[in-house]
């Protein structure tokens, strides 16, 4: 596995390009502002007419254009909209308007890997970068960065790799490391991790633990604290130094319980091979795209069910008792 750093990148490459950021959500605003703060003068945000994000982008000193006009103007187009919207944006705004030799970048490989978008062979590159989800790196004023992944899908000019490293460095990735991968590896491992561990497995495990304690007659507040609230402490310890670091920090009783009860507690949620098979075959992506074509009825119903779960109600009440959580929040809906 090859890892690159700022010393391997020529920041002047991206500084000499017109960069269009398509979308201004949690990633779009981070990319655009980091590029600007790193000295990239020609940065524009491409948005649909009437987008509420336009005022936010303009308030940050960024130029706002329609997606089609941004595509005509740009040397580099970074797609930072939700996966399910990219196909339509591609067909209607990018494909007819991007100029020859332009670079098309993605923050997730789904649409490229599963052939929902097929760039022209004459375009410079299609590559992938992520890990700046809801944060700004501000690389020229802070000593830290966010790790990036980079993959080249096609390279019509021979300059895709160097330009990709330059872009990644400009958004802060070169400080923490830019890891070389492939669209297939990024896309399939990302989907699997999200579904089986990070979003699917972890949330289901917390919900099952909460419901088990409630059914046994314990107070909802105690169930929430033990099965949801304290997850952050454990995750932070693992993030800092791995599982061994976490086990060093918790009690011997907790560590022993991890070994004897962990496998039993997660048996239902253990990441099955079928999850990975559905991702690799394209079954999951096909079902998700079909869901979007019919206005997401199942998705919205599942979201509503999750949001109304008693665990969420109890959690809000307890978080209100700890105002410092809101003061340090990662998600600010007023900004992105």
Catalytic (active-site) positions:
108
Contact criterion met (CB below 8 Å) for 14 and 21:
no
Contact criterion met (CB below 8 Å) for 245 and 233:
no
Query: Which is nearest to 78 in space by CA: 53, 122, 115, 108?
Result: 108
Tokens 């096909």 appear where? 286
CA separation for the pair 136, 28 (Å, rounded): 10
CA separation for the pair 240, 334 (Å, rounded): 30
3-class secondary-structure state, position 270: coil
Tokens 């004459």 appear where? 122
CA separation for the pair 168, 77 (Å, rounded): 14
22: left (phi over 0), alpha (psi -120 to 50) or beta: beta
The C-alpha R_g of the chain, in whole angstroms, comes to 22
Write out the H or E segment, with its range, that includes residue 126.
Answer: strand 125-128
Strand partners, 179: 3, 149
258 CB-contact burial (10 Å; exposed 0-12 / middle 13-18 / buried 19+):
middle
Token pair recorded at residue 251: 């009690």
Helices (H), the chain: 11-15, 26-37, 53-59, 67-73, 83-89, 110-113, 160-170, 173-176, 183-193, 200-215, 220-224, 231-249, 252-265, 273-281, 283-293, 297-307, 310-320, 323-327
């Amino acid at each position: 596995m090859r890892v690159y750093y700022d010393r391997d990148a020529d920041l002047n490459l991206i500084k000499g390009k017109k960069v269009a950021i398509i979308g201004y959500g949690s990633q779009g605003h981070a990319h655009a502002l980091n590029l600007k703060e790193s000295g990239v003068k020609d940065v524009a945000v491409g948005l649909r007419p009437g987008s509420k994000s336009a005022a936010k982008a303009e308030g940050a000193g960024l130029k706002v254009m329609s997606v089609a006009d941004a595509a005509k103007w740009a040397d580099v187009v970074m797609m930072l909209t939700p996966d399910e919207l990219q196909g339509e944006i591609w067909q209607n705004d990018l494909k007819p308007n991007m100029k020859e030799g332009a670079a098309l970048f993605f923050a997730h490989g789904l649409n490229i890997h599963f052939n929902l978008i097929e760039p022209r062979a004459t375009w410079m590159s299609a590559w992938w970068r992520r890990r700046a989800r809801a944060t700004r790196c501000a690389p020229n004023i802070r000593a830290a960065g966010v790790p990036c992944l980079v993959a080249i899908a096609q390279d019509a000019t021979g300059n895709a790799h160097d330009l990709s490293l330059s872009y990644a460095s400009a958004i802060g990735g070169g400080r923490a490391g830019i890891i070389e991968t492939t669209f297939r590896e990024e896309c399939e491992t990302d989907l699997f991790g999200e579904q089986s561990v990070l979003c699917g497995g972890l949330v289901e495990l917390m919900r099952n633990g909460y419901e088990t304690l409630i059914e046994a007659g314990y107070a909802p507040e105690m169930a929430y604290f033990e099965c949801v609230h304290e997850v952050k402490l454990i995750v932070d310890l693992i993030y800092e130094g791995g599982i061994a670091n976490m086990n060093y920090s918790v009690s011997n009783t907790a560590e022993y319980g991890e070994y004897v009860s962990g496998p039993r507690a997660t048996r239902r949620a253990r990441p099955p091979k079928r999850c990975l098979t559905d991702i690799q075959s394209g079954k999951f992506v096909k079902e998700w795209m079909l869901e979007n074509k019919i206005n997401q009825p199942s998705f919205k119903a599942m979201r509503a069910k999750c949001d109304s779960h008693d665990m969420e109600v109890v959690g809000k009440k307890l978080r209100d008792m700890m105002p410092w959580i809101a003061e340090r929040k990662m998600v600010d809906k007023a900004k992105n």
